[in-house]
Amino acid sequence: MKIVNNSKYVNFGRRLIAHLIDTVIPFIIMVIAIWYILSLPTAEAKLLQAIEFLPTVFIPLIFINLIYFPAALSRWGQTLGRYLVGIKVTKTDGKLLTFKEAFLREFIAKPVSSVLFLAGFWAVLFQERHQAWHDELVNSVVVYKS
């Protein structure tokens, strides 16, 4: 299959940078929450605060993962990290993924790519269109934003 708009396919490095940007913000939120709990004066206070505070941090992070990533990919073809490095995810015909396709890519197909020492991610280095296994499974490509 061929991309209709002849966009260039994105290499492993640029994809990795976008992924790192997308994971830094939730990670910082988690570190701040854990630091706050650990700074409490007593073990009992730490436990009580963890029981009350951590769900207010982790529930939004779960929401971000389950809703934000597929919604952003299906609406704009980009997450914040992909936007900042100038790339987007499309179907091989150049159209945006549907929410269902984006959800499958992020939460079903990406775990498949993680099997055998991340073999599906390393596949980007050897594919003509720089597709990881999760791209191939949902018929998507990562291209430079035009």
Alpha helix segments (H runs only) across the chain: 12-38, 43-63, 69-75, 80-85, 99-104, 110-113, 115-122, 133-138
pLDDT of residue 4: 41
Confidence of residue 86 (pLDDT cuts 50, 70, 90): very high
Domain ranges for the chain, please list them: 12-144
Q: Which has the higher per-residue pLDDT, 144 or 40?
A: 144
pLDDT digits (tens, 9 = 90+) for 17-29: 999 999 888 788 7
pTM for this one? 0.80
Write out pLDDT tens, residues 99-142: 999 999 999 999 999 988 999 999 999 999 999 999 999 999 99
